[in-house]
Each structure stands twice: as C-alpha cells, then as structure tokens.
C-alpha cells in the first residue's frame, strides 16, 4: 500500500523544462515519489491519503540543491574576515589541520541544520582535510546527513601538495598520493549508492590545483571513472590561482584541468570566477558543471563569475553555500537573491539574471551539476518527492504579488514544511529529526576546543 500526502491551494513553481507554474495548484506525494502536480485541487478518488495539507499562502518549489560546501568550517566561522583566498587559506590551514572526528561531526550537524531548515533537500560536502589519526571523518559526515534526513553527496577530497612542494597547506596537513587514492576508493566502495532514490552518493574530489599534485588529479579522474562516480574540485576561483597555474604548469586552470582529464559531463567545479571566452566554451563543449558561490566569492573578494555567459553557452550551473568560514550564514536560500544581485553588478547589468533563473540555479541547475536531474530538481510526476512549502503569507512577503519574486528578492521566507524522499524533515522552521539547541551547544564547544588546540600548537 502506497501512502499519499496531498498538498493543495498553493502556488506551485515546478521548474520543469517549460517553467510551468500554477497560481493555485496541488502536489500529490505517493511514497517517495511525486505522483501528480497541476492546477486546482488534487484529483478526486485518491486512496490511502494519510494527510492533507491546506497550503494557502504558500509557494511550493523543488527542494534546494547545494552543490559546494565544506562542513568542517562551521567551527572556524568569523576568522580572517578581511583576507583574499590565498591569505585566508594560509591563516586557517594550521587550525583546520587539527580537526578530529567529534569536531567534524558537530560541524557537519551545524552546517546541515542551517541548510535543511532553510529549504535544502539535497546537500553535499567537499571534505579534503584528513589529519593523521583523526578518526572516521567521512563516516561522521555521512552519519550526520543520514540523521538530518537530507539527500547527500560526499565529495571525498584530498591534498598531497604541501608547502614543501610549492602548495599552500602545511606539510602535516596533507596525505600521500597513494594514501589519498586508497582512502577515496574505500569510501566509494563503502558508501556510494548508485540507485535512483539513493540518499548517499560519493564523488572523487582532490581539492584544488594549488594543493594537489598532477598525479593525484590524473589518477583521481581514472579512479572516479573506473568506479562510475562523479568528480569535483575548485577551479578558476581567483587571479592568484590563474597566476599559480601559469607559473607552475605553463597554462591556465581550464587548460590544465583538460590536460589531466578533468573536463566532462561527470565533472563539476566550484567558483569558476575567472573564466575567459575560451574557458567557457570548453566547459560548454564538455558539459562540465559549475557550482556558483556568490556570497563566498564576495567575502573573499574573488570577483563576479560570468554566470549569464555560462548559461547562454549551455554550461550546467548550480548554487553553492561554500564553507562557512567564507559564508558565515551557511544558508543556500539567501544565495538565490545574492546570485541575482551580484550578477547584475557585472557586464550584463539588469539583464544578467531574473528571479526564475535564480530559482532554477538553486534547484534544477544544482541537480544537473550533481548528476541527479533525472531524480530531483523539479516537480514532475515520477521524480523523487523532495520539495519545500515556503510561507509567503507574512509581513515580509504578503504585498508582493508574484510568489517567485517574493521568494527570491524578498526577505528569507519561512519554511513551513520540507520533504525529502517523501518524508517531512522540517515543520514550521524547526528540524524534526535532530535537536537544534543541542547542535548549537556542541558546535560551540567543539569550536572552542579546536581554537584552544590551535593556540597551543
């Protein structure tokens, strides 16, 4: 017997290929799938309806999809607030290199909690700091996501280029080439689920050109394709990175990535701020995806990514929070607004992005980038029941007639309900499966413990 949940009397933005919207519509959830979506009331004669939700005053959208994050940074927020990327990394790597399993678990809970209570239903974490004898960090992160109830991709990162090799991380903060590859493969074997409704997937994710050897990039790409998983890294984030690549490899980041096997439909890269026309064409030709992180790019003064040009060329683009040491809010729904506003400061001005394009970046675009657009990212029959009810019947939103514009340009909208895989994980802005107050206490304690350890080092 498939149990059904009926949601009615709401505005609906499906974010399907035609951007279909309903001023007053319905969504029917059957088990973990969307059974129907359309105008007016739900179909008559539905059986096994266990719940009916009168969603008057709400907008229903696909759940938000976060395409780039570093959860461990939750316990180092508010530090190095006036630095560019390279100086920021040099300032924080010595602290990050002293994390352990309890710290990472608490930080993952904090990061996931802020995203989930703000409408994220599919999350990811790019974790690349694995100090010796620090415990099962990947297991801690995956466990936190499972408890929260979100759909999750762990991008198992790695670094093997330290200061002695011309990289930025301290020598004690990196793995060996062989160790990184072996640990990554073991994580894929233990945790990756390739099924349609998978709750946990793994990607291979060496950190960046300035913290990873060419061998790790090449062999990491070979490993990912042998295992049938996706590839993720940072790319073209700053002008300093471009200079680093030209000095060390004799070419810019995009050409370097292509030479190591790191362009393709199974690849997505974070930031991609400093991309010329040739770079964008290469990403479009290979269908390489981009995780656009507007707040982090602004916080670190990295620049304005050419998102309108990427979209026009056919590059898949999603949104990312990025680590909360460079985006202290830790929320993705605010990135819808920031993506629109920051891109309008660029060359395209008011024509850069509109509200519906911003919503698409945060939903279907993110699902494309994570390789899950068949399953989620839009409200269509047969897709997974990952969706959010945004309350727009509030002081902050009620006078804005267009619900999508209210969501994107208005104040952060309250989440009345959020469903993942047909299971509700948020009710009236509160998480249902975890204790938010306890998470706040544990993250505060672990942040203080890490700061004390780093101060003694």
Residue 169: the pLDDT is: 81
Superfamily of domain 4-62+377-431: Urease, subunit C, domain 1 (2.30.40.10)
Residue that is written with structure tokens 């974010």 in the block: 15
Residue 163: the pLDDT is: 84
Helix (H, G, I), strand (E, B) or coil at 323: coil
Q: CATH second-level architecture of 65-369? A: Alpha-Beta Barrel (3.20)
State yes or no: pLDDT of 435 exceeds 80.
yes
| For residues 378-399, average pLDDT | 98
Question: Can you give the residue ranges of every domain in the chain?
Answer: 4-62+377-431, 65-369
Residue 165: the pLDDT is: 84
Q: Kindly report, residue by residue over 406-428, the tens digit of the pLDDT.
A: 999 999 999 999 999 999 999 99
- The closest of 331, 379, 382 to 120, measured between CA atoms, is 331
d(CA 401, CA 392): 10
Tokens of 194: 């390739």
Q: Kindly report, residue by residue over 247-301, the tens digit of the pLDDT.
A: 999 999 999 999 999 999 999 999 999 999 999 999 999 999 999 999 999 999 9
Residue 355: the pLDDT is: 98
pTM (predicted TM-score): 0.97
Residue 120: the pLDDT is: 98
pLDDT band at residue 383 under the 50/70/90 scheme: very high
| For residues 295-309, average pLDDT | 97
Asked which of 80-94, 253-267, 423-437 is least confident by mean pLDDT, the reply is 80-94
CA atoms within 13 A on the CB side of 61: 30
Contact 408, 337 (CB under 8 A): yes
Residue 21: the pLDDT is: 98
| For residues 425-438, average pLDDT | 97
DSSP annotation of 328: T
Residue 403, judged by CB atoms within 10 A of its CB (0-12, 13-18, 19+), counts as buried
State yes or no: pLDDT of 168 exceeds 80.
no
């Amino acid at each position: 017997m498939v149990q059904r949940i009926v949601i009615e009397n709401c505005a609906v933005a499906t974010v399907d290929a035609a951007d279909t919207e309903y001023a007053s519509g319905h969504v029917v959830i059957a088990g973990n799938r969307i059974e129907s979506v359309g105008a007016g009331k739900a179909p008559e004669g539905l059986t096994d309806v266990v719940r009916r939700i009168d969603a008057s005053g709400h907008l229903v959208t696909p759940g938000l999809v976060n395409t780039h994050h570093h959860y461990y940074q939750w316990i180092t927020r508010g530090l190095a607030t006036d630095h560019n990327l390279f100086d920021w990394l040099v300032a924080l790597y010595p602290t990050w290199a002293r994390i352990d399993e309890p710290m990472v678990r608490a930080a993952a809970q904090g990061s996931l909690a802020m995203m989930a209570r703000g409408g994220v239903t599919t999350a990811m974490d790019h974790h690349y700091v694995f100090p010796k004898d620090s415990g099962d960090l990947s297991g801690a992160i995956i466990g936190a996501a499972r408890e929260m109830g979100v759909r999750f991709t762990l991008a198992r990162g790695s670094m093997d280029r330290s200061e002695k090799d011309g990289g930025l991380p301290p020598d004690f903060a990196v793995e060996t080439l062989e160790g990184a590859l072996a640990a990554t493969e073991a994580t894929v074997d233990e945790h990756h689920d390739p099924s349609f409704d998978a709750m946990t997937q793994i990607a291979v994710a060496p950190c960046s050109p300035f913290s990873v050897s060419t061998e790790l990039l090449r062999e990491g790409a070979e490993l990912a394709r042998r295992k049938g998983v996706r590839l993720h890294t940072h790319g073209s984030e700053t002008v300093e990175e471009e200079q680093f690549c030209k000095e060390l490899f004799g070419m810019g980041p995009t050409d370097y990535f292509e030479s190591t096997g790191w362009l393709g439909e199974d690849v997505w890269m974070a930031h991609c701020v400093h991309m010329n026309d040739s770079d964008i064409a290469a990403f479009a030709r290979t269908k390489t995806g981009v995780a656009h992180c507007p707040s982090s790019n602004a916080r670190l003064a990295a620049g304005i990514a050419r998102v309108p040009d990427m979209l026009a060329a056919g590059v898949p683009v999603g949104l990312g929070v990025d680590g909360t040491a460079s985006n202290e809010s830790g929320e993705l729904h605010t990135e819808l607004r920031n993506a629109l506003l920051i891109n309008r400061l660029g060359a395209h001005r008011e024509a850069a992005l509109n509200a519906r394009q911003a919503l698409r970046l945060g939903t279907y675009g993110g699902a494309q980038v994570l390789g899950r657009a068949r399953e989620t990212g839009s409200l269509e029959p047969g897709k997974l029941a990952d969706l959010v009810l945004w309350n727009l019947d509030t002081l902050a939103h009620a006078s804005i007639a267009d619900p999508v514009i209210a969501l994107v340009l208005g104040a952060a909208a309250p989440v009345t309900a959020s469903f993942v895989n047909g299971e509700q994980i948020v009710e009236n802005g509160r998480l249902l499966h975890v204790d938010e107050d306890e998470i706040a206490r544990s993250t505060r304690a672990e942040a203080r413990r890490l700061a004390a350890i780093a101060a003694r080092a």
